[in-house]
Structures are given as structure tokens and as C-alpha cells.
Structure 1
Amino acid sequence: MDRYDAMRVFTRVVEQRSFTQAAQDLAIPRSTATDAVKQLETRLKVRLLYRTTRHVSPTLDGEAYYQRCLMILAAVEDAENAFIGARPKGLLRVDAHGTLARHFLLPGLPAFLALYPDIEFFMSESDRLVDPVREGIDCVVRVGKLIDSDMAARRLGALEEATCASPDYIKRFGLPVSPADLEGHRTIGFRSSATGALMPLEFTIDGTVHSRTLPTTVSVTGAESLVAAARLGLGIIQVPRYHVAGDLACGTLLPLLADYPPAPIPVSVLYPRNRQLSPRVRVFIDWLGQEFAKRNV
């Protein structure tokens, strides 16, 4: 095995923390992966990995070599693409917030794949804190304020939110005309699936965003369940407007406190800070930015 392929094996072992999983990812025997790393260690005269029966992790030298390997492998791919005129290709692995993916990402995907037919697209849906290196994910699309991490981020846009409730709820509890009128009202609680925290309502008053927590009898972790519960008259909700555009148009939900809008929710794409972006990831992130700009998000 040449040094280039050995570097590919080594980086995958570090990312998966497993010779077995790395070998499966690369479709090679486990013994081949083990021999490749041993050859690198012999050539470099340093120990690259700590090995136990259950765990593999890089040494300090191994971590430094891993970072160099990432840059070298990406540079080789860039050079080959430049000289052979190749279009971005290979498997692109994206993790995205589910409803956002269905409303914004998937509708434009045919056009993206028509531009880059040699890219194979794989998408997982979640709203949790992922480890892209360990899980083999190229980039992550998220909604909301970002949790501190060692990932690089690019803001794509922001989602306008709507405050609304059903006609039945308003008939029973009354129509608030300002946040001060919310005494005695109820909300359907929305909990972050990543942290479990209950999200308060937000209202912009004289240019300043204020938070307000109301009593809840029902709380959920999904936007679709939140909207469904609102249709049943269980409380007031705040949700990205695209979730309720149809309901607002047909009257199954009614807008509330439009003069006191919540702060827009940021949408971002995240990727490993210490990994040089491959051409397929780079064009996808650029395309995402263009898609959100076209939609005025």
C-alpha cells in the first residue's frame, strides 16, 4: 500500500476510533488497515495510536500527523480535479434539521445534482449535537443559536417566526393585543431536542427582544407536533412561519401580536474546523447559501 492510501486508512481509523469500522468504511480487510498504520509508524519512527481491546485513539504525534494528512489528502484531491477537469464527485454526507430539510433543502436538490451529477447525496435527519469527524458527516445544517463547539460555521439566513393560536383558543381565552395582555393565557411548550430546555416566547418591544414564559399543559420537541397541538386549541405557539403558512391562509390558525414579532431564528451550516473542505462539500455549502438567498431567508 502506498503512502497516500495509508494516510487515508490512518485518518479513517482516527475518525472512527476503530480499525474494524475504518476497514468496513474503506471496504478493505481489517488486517490491511492494521498493516497500513504499522507501516506508517515504522516509516515515521513514532507511535501514532494508542490501542486497547476496545478503543483506539491518537497519540500527540498521531494527532499532529492526522491534521497534516487531512490537508495533504484534500490538496491531492483538489490537484487531481484541477488537472483532469473533473467535477466534484463522491459521497456527500449531510445531517440536517428534518423539517428544514423537507421545506428548503430537498426541493432544490434535483437542481444541485443536475449541476454535479457525480456527487452521491446522503442525508440524515436530526437536531442533536453531532460529532462529524467520528460519524463521518461532511456538514451539518442547523436552526437556532449555535452551541459552542470546535466546528466552523457559515450563516445561511434567518427564519421569520409567527405567533399564532386557533380560533377556538382565542374564543376561550381572548385576543391579546400586546404582550401585557398574556396574563391568564397558555402556551404549548417547545423543548429543544438537543438540550431539553423549554423555549420561552419572544416579543420585540421598542426594538428590544423580551422573553415571556407562560403556563403549559402540553410540551413537545417537534415543530409538526407543536402546530398540530395549536390546531386543537391547546395554546399559543411561536414557530417558523413556513410551518403555519397554510394554516394562516385558511384560518385554522390566526396570527397574534404581529406588532411584537419574535427575533428571527438563524440558520447555519457547520463543518469541521480542522478539516480542509473537499470540492463536493465546498460547492454544496456555496449552493446552500445561494438557495437561502433566493428564498429571502
Structure 2
Amino acid sequence: MSKQRILLTGSGGMVGRNLLEHPSMFAHDVLTPDSQQLDLRDYTAVLTYLQNHRPDIVIHCAGKVGGIQANMREPVGFLLENLDMGRNIVWASRQAGVKRLINLGSSCMYPRNHNDPLPEELVLKGELEPTNEGYALAKIITARLCDYIMREDPSFQYKTLIPCNLYGRHDKFDPAHSHLIPAIIHKVYQAREKGEKSVEIWGDGTARREFMYAGDLADAMVHAIDQFDSLPSMMNVGLGYDYTINEYYQATAEVMGYAGEFTHNLEKPVGMTRKLVSIERQQSWGWQAKNDLLSGIEKSYQFYVNEYLR
């Protein structure tokens, strides 16, 4: 792997921090401006930064992210902030002459209520899930902009990775902002510490979700840097299998040694009944995730206890 100058947006977020922890990243010159040093919502500032630093490749991981509660509470912010950041970094990269870019999409870009694995061709082929529609629209537009730029000038290779749901080290565990697995870790830990005999699950727990450990996505991204030319223009990154919400609670309880029961609140929203990405392109490209569910939850739980709570 040759040394490259890489601009990484979102270096302080979960994906960015897991990528920076990957051993192979130490071989590169990685630029990691925070939002104070580079406001991605300011197009002029982004263009000036790129012209001054001339990265070989841009990796766009920055974004306003959150779970179902946050998306339902702040749809305007999830649409506008992600749209501004995505449009600015992609178009400024084009204007600055940066030839390679990896854009991080999201599986919420896919239509709702598909029971079969979701292939990349399904983007814009159906109604989006209403609970995170704003975020999804911003991600779709950014991915399309990458595609349009390549169509107009193939010397610019701007590619999009679409990961399944993620969890792991450096996650958000506050229930007001967290996704499913960190929220479960927090709820089960608090219940265990307080001696509570039950934990509430939203819905009946039968909805299925595919969650991948963030360290595995970081490994896929490192592989993408190294094998950029063979990377498809749009590619899912996932496990190829999923679990029910109930099974995620049960696995977390097993890791923590929590012996209480689970109750179901059928009045709460649950989102899509299933969201599983197709990994056919990923498999053909030659990469697969390494962590299973229990090992990923164990690593996340250790981070929660040893670093997040301290």
C-alpha cells in the first residue's frame, strides 16, 4: 500500500475514529480537520481547504446522525445539514481537481418494506422509510452527485459505499441520540445496575435488522483505499444476514450477564420490518466482515464501560 494524503471528514465520529484506529491507516498522511477547523456547510471554506492541502483522496464520513427518535424529532436538520455537507465536499473536490473520493452512504437510501436483500440498483426505486426520510434523501442526492460527476468525466472516480447499520467503539449511547445496539447496551446495563427485573422493547421485537461492527467497516474502507480501482462505483458493505430486535436484546443480556425479562410496548414506532443489504458485489470484490454478533457487542460493551462512562 503506497502512502497517500487522505482528507477524512467526520474523523471525530464513530466511523472516522474506527478508521483512524485501523493499523493500516498509520501508513498514510491523514488530514482530520474538525468542524471548527473546517465547516463542511461552508462551500467556500471547503474549496479553499482542498486547494491548499491537495489530498490524493477524500473520504467523506461526516454527517448528522442519530437513531429513530432523533430523526423523527429533527427532520429538517437531518436533511439540510447532511445535504449541505455532502454537496459541498463532493463538488468542491471536483472543482479542486481531486480525482478520487469515497462517499459513505446509508442503507436508509433503500425503499422501505423489502423482505429480500437490497441490491444497489434499488436506490430510488420506491418509497423511503418516513422515520428517517430526510437523512435518506440527503444521502441519495450526494451519491447521485458522485455518479453524475463520473458520467461527465470518468477521470474523476467518486464512489459510494453503502454500509448496513453500524455499532461499535465510539458510538453514541445516549438514548436520545443512539441507534439500536448502543441504546440496548445502555438500557440493559442501567437495568442490571439498578436491579430492575425487566427491560422494555419497542414493538413486538420481530422486526429484523442487520448491524455490523464499525471496526469491520473500517477494514472494508482500508481495503477500498488499497484496491480503489477495482471498487464498484456503488457498493453495499454488510454481513449478508440479520437478526430480530429480540435477538439483539438477548445477545446483549448474554454478554452482560443480565437475567431479567423483556416486555414489549406495542404503541411505539419500530421503523422498517426488515432492512438487509445484498452483499453480492462485496463478495465479488473480495471482502467480508470478521466480527460475529457476540464479539462485536462484547467490544462495544467494554468501550461503554471502560471509556464512555468514565
Same-fold status (TM-score > 0.5): no
Greater relative contact order (Cα < 8 A, sep 6+): 1
Higher strand share: 1
Bigger CA radius of gyration: 1
TM-score with structure 2 setting the length = 0.28
